[in-house]
Amino acid sequence: MNAATSITTTLLSTALAVSAFAQTAPTKVVVAEAEMRSAPTTITLVGTVDPRRRSNIGSEIAGIVAEMPVRQGDLVKTGQLLCKLRDDILTLRLTEAQANLGALAVRHEELLAGLRPEELTRLKAILDETASEEERWTFEMKRIERLYEGSVSNAKEYQDTLAEFRAAERRRIAAQASYELGVAGPRQEEIARAAYDVAEQQAVVDRLKSELEKTSIRSPFDGFVTKRASEVGEWVAVGGAILEIIDLSSVLVRVNVPEFALPYVQVDDRARVMVDALKRTFDGRVKHVIRQADEKARTFPVDIEVDNPEALLSGGMFARAAVPAGSETEAVAVPKDAIVERDGIANVAIVIPGRQGGTVGMLVSVTVGADVGDWITITSGNVQPGTIVITRGNEHVLPFPTPVSIVDDKGVPVDSSPHATKTAQRRDE
């Protein structure tokens, strides 16, 4: 198909569409009148879409990558596994540490409980036995002493008996001490040391558990994976990069505001953001005003936050934003409901008399400025104060004359003459 044929086909299609609309029943619409409103001066600046937050995920421990279940572009949820390190050695260390902890805990409990009654009975029996033995050798010692004094016993017999007596005495003293220790129980210092040993080993177990949990690296928030810095089988050092995630639940559009406009830009100010690639306009608000200028350009970075629930906006997109840039002035404004956005272009459906009688509506493209409550200013100059604009039913109006029937908010037809239309619109307000 050549160019001439294409143009002819397009004109024919348009003519048929006009003819079809001329034959259909008029579209019922509700109208309002453009007015002069006091609104702040705005300036449109170019900017770049940035994620709400960006995180370079790293590893808290060293290890070999065993699993990497996500790739670039994947949408991940909070807590989802991003990377898994080998954990076999840590698992064995934890098992060993838990066994040592159990042994130390048993020792501590044993000290707290003290000796069993059976053990005390055994110690008492040993004490009684050594006491009896001491009595026997005491009697024998006295007998040998009398014999030795009477020259009946020799020196060797005397010394042997004395040695046995002293040994029996010391055995009784040792048994007495053992029994008294058993009755008194372990010293408080020994119990405290055992408690400290348990606490120390518990810390080792907790540390190993923590390290074992850290072998599973999980997403800190919902977002998109933009970069992978590691692969399965690679060694990752402590703090080593794993991947990058960006949060696009909302975005920050950064624009550079000239210094003359900076005094008029305040946090929470509303700002309209146009994204040409999507052919859409978004409502945003000023999130950050950074009070440090680029010394070369003498502009100040300003971040405009835009909600992004459908993830239509991506990092790095080109955007244009209208921000306050001066004091309030009188400007033509229309209700926000009068704005029809098509392919990223703002339009207003105006009401004009039809060439063959009646009333028609027609879309005209406009540029918009600052918000004034439920109204918005028109900066393109092609909408004048008093112009009748359609606020309901305008989605059915086309860029060429479309038959319309003006009704009030309740759907009751009203006189479509200019004077009557304005009167009805004021009455509805």
SS3 call for 308: coil
| Domain shared by 168 and 110, yes or no | yes
Give the span between the Cα atoms of 274 and 306, in whole angstroms: 11
Q: Between 239 and 185, whose confidence is greater?
A: 239
Residue 159 located in a structural domain:
yes
Percent of all residues in the chain with a pLDDT value above 90, rounded to a whole number:
60
Cα 194 to Cα 107, 185, 214: the distances in Å are: 7, 14, 30
Q: Residue 416: pLDDT band by 50, 70, 90 thresholds?
A: low
- What is the model's pLDDT at position 226? 95
**Same domain, yes or no, for 277 and 341?**
yes
What is the spatial distance between Cα 326 and Cα 262, in angstroms, rounded to a whole number? 9
Domain shared by 153 and 221, yes or no: no
Helix ranges restricted to H, 114-187 = 117-149, 155-184
Q: Are residues 171 and 256 in the same domain?
A: no
What is the H or E stretch that residue 101 is in?
A: helix 88-113
Helices (H) and strands (E) in the chain, counts: 6, 20
Among 210, 237, 267, the domain-final residue is: 210
pLDDT tens, position by position, 387-404: 999 999 988 898 888 899
Using the predicted structure, report yes or no on whether residue 424 has a pLDDT greater than 50.
no
Let me know if residue 17 belongs to a domain.
no
Q: Is the pLDDT of residue 170 over 70?
A: yes
* Cβ pair 370, 271 in contact under 8 A: no
Give, to the nearest 10 degrees, the angle between helix 88-113 and helix 188-213.
Answer: 160
Structural domain containing residue 113: 93-210
Residue 127 included in any domain: yes
Considering the domain architecture, whether residues 261 and 238 belong to the same structural domain is answered as no
Q: Residue 2 falls within a domain, yes or no?
A: no
pLDDT of 15 strictly over 70? no
> Domain check: are 134 and 193 in the same one?
yes
Alpha carbon distance 80, 69 (integer Å): 10
Q: Residue 8 domain-assigned?
A: no
- Give the other-Cβ count within 10 Å of 288's Cβ: 13
Question: Is residue 15 domain-resident?
Answer: no
pLDDT attached to residue 417:
55
Same domain, 200 and 268: no
Instruction: Sheet containing 216-218: give its strands across.
Output: 216-218, 81-85, 63-67, 235-236
Q: What is the mean pLDDT of the chain?
A: 88
**14 has pLDDT over 80:** no
Whether residues 407 and 346 fall in one domain:
yes
Q: Pairing relation of β-strands 318-335 and 270-275?
A: antiparallel
**Is 398 within 8 Å of 21 (Cβ atoms)?**
yes
Looking at the whole model, is its pTM more than 0.85?
no
Average pLDDT over residues 256-276: 93
Contact criterion met (CB below 8 Å) for 19 and 413: no
Residue 80, CB-side half-sphere exposure with 13 Å CA sphere: 16
| Beta strands 280-289; 235-236: pairing state | unpaired
In terms of C-beta density within 10 A (0-12 exposed, 13-18 middle, 19 or more buried), how is residue 20 classed? exposed
- Say whether both 220 and 232 belong to one domain: yes
The predicted structure's pLDDT at residue 152: 79
Do the domain assignments include residue 373?
Answer: yes
CB 221 within 8 A of CB 78: yes
**Contact by Cβ (8 Å): 52, 251:** yes
Task: Say whether pLDDT at 10 is over 50.
Answer: no
Cβ density class 146-170: b for 16+ within 10 Å, e for less: eebeeeebeeeebeebbebbeebbe
pLDDT of residue 24: 64
Using the structure block, give the residue that is written with the tokens 């008194």: 184
Report whether 237 contacts 262 (CB < 8 A).
Answer: no
Q: What is the mean pLDDT of residues 23-38?
A: 87
Flag whether 72 is in a domain. Answer: yes
Residues 235, 278, single domain; the answer is no
pLDDT at 110 over 50: yes
**Which of 186, 210, 234 is a domain's end point?**
210
pLDDT band at 357 (very low <50, low <70, confident <90, very high): confident
| pLDDT, tens only, 291-300 | 999 989 999 9
In this predicted structure, the answer to whether residue 331 has a pLDDT above a threshold of 80 is yes
Among 21-25, 110-114, 265-269, top mean pLDDT goes to: 265-269
Per-residue pLDDT of 360-377, as tens digits, reads 999 999 988 888 888 998
Contact indicator for 350, 29 with CB cutoff of 8 Å: no
Name residue, tokens 């002069």.
36
Q: Quick one: 126 and 35 in the same domain?
A: no
Please, which residues have CB within 8 angstroms of residue 70's CB and are 6 or more apart in sequence?
76, 80, 82, 225, 243
pLDDT of residue 419: 45
Q: How confident is the model at residue 93 (pLDDT cuts 50, 70, 90)?
A: very high
Say if residue 145's pLDDT is above 70.
Answer: yes
Lowest mean pLDDT among 52-61, 96-105, 112-121, 260-269: 112-121
Q: Which of 68-82, 96-110, 359-373 has the lowest mean pLDDT?
A: 359-373
| First-to-last C-alpha distance (Å) of the chain | 54
Q: Are residues 185 and 117 in the same domain?
A: yes
Total domains present in the chain: 3
| pLDDT for 425 | 47
Q: List the CATH number of the domain containing 315.
A: 2.40.30.170
Given a cut of 80, is residue 18 above it in pLDDT? Answer: no
Residue 420 confidence class, pLDDT cut points 50, 70, 90:
very low
The residue from 210, 236, 269 where one domain ends is 210
